[in-house]
Amino acid sequence: MSKTAFITGITGQDGSYLAELLLKKDYTVHGLVRRSSSFNTGRIDHIINSNEYADRFFFYHGDLTDPGNLNHLFSKINPDEIYNLAAQSHVKVSFDIPFYTAQVDALGTLSILDAIKETGVKTKFYQASTSELYGKVQSMPQTAKTPFYPRSPYGVAKLFAYWAIVNYREAYNLFACNGILYNHESPRRGETFVTRKISMAVAKIKRDKQDILYLGNINSKRDWGYAPEYVEGMWRMLQQKKPDDYILSTGVSHSIREFVELAFKVVDINIEWSGSGINEKGYDKSTGKKLVGVNKKYFRPTEVDELLGNPAKAKKQLKWKAKTDFPNLVKIMVESDLKKIV
């Protein structure tokens, strides 16, 4: 008998890939879409418009901050699995809108947990947690036992959600899991996120539609993986006999500087650096043209220098492992944007 899943954030990068994965596994998929005056379903339009999934894919307008709506939907759908991927997920932006970030990322998660408890649906719940919980890292690499030290309103809100999952799991015997996912990217990544900002800029510079790419802290290091592989890990968490929390990561970190260099190499440009700090610039080695600059407005009030996850537990218990290495991830993203920008 096929299963039924409910996905919040279904129009996002992870939500769209997860919907594809579950539909291929013969699930019926229901998604929550935030109402907007402009079209916001671009990542799932191919599913919406597919006759193949017409009787197995449904979406509803709603918001995590509306508990009554969640109660109604859970009672109506009775999902076997719930995936909470909705969030205000931009770390830098969370400093500008901390209250909204807390309302969606912290209290929104609590709304789902309480809706599960109040409706009594027999379901398994996945919460999209984040490596930003570790912030000012206390050990390298990070494991599930590494102390948390978030450095942004986003990280703080996600920390509330993390412990809410643990508390409801222990207090009410809910099957609820935290997936502490490290940075995972793809051509569907939002355009304001640094990796996509870089891949788009490189494509535009190659097509003579942009002159310079401006970035913030290019020395920040992250553990970067490929998003379609990470949604497989989410699904695997809910197929276990007992709920638990897991880290999904590659176990290797790279700097934004390295991402820039590899991205330009895809279009046969070698970057040469000059200067330091906010005065550092990147030049086309062959022409001497300035292509990369640093702008202090892109720095966070509190920076996170490096995040590096230990995926050993996921590898052992979930049989999950990241497959796409860093150079290929960068290549996938740049080549995708080159096709879009002509």
Percentage of the chain with pLDDT > 90? 96
By DSSP bridging, strand 225-226 and strand 213-215 are: unpaired
Domain locations along the chain: 4-187+224-251+305-323
pLDDT in tens, 204-234: 999 999 999 999 999 999 999 999 999 999 9
Q: Could you say which DSSP state residue 239 is in?
A: T
- Active-site annotation holds for 162: no
Catalytic pick among 101, 130, 195, 250: 130
Residues 127-177 have pLDDT tens digits of 999 999 999 999 999 998 999 999 999 999 999 999 999 999 999 999 999
Task: Give the pLDDT score at 144.
Answer: 85
Around Cβ 152, how many Cβ atoms within 10 Å?
A: 23
How high is the pLDDT of residue 38? 64
Annotated catalytic residue, options 17, 126, 134, 154: 154
CA 289 to chain CA mean position, Å = 34
The three-state (H, E, C) secondary structure of 199-215, written as one string: HHHHHHHHCCCCCCEEE
Residue 286 pLDDT > 90: yes
Residue 167 and residue 184: Cα distance in Å, rounded? Answer: 27
Q: Which fold has domain 4-187+224-251+305-323?
A: Rossmann fold (3.40.50)
Catalytic-residue membership of 168: no
35 pLDDT tier (thresholds 50, 70, 90): confident
Tell me which of 81, 132, 185, 261 is the catalytic residue: 132
Report CA 342 to chain centroid distance, whole Å. Answer: 28
- The two tokens of residue 213 are 């790419």
Over residues 228-245, the mean pLDDT reads: 98
Q: What does the alpha-carbon distance between residue 192 and residue 207 come to, in Å, rounded to a whole number?
A: 20
**Mean predicted lDDT score pLDDT of the chain:** 96
- Active-site annotation holds for 130: yes
Confidence of residue 296 (pLDDT cuts 50, 70, 90): very high
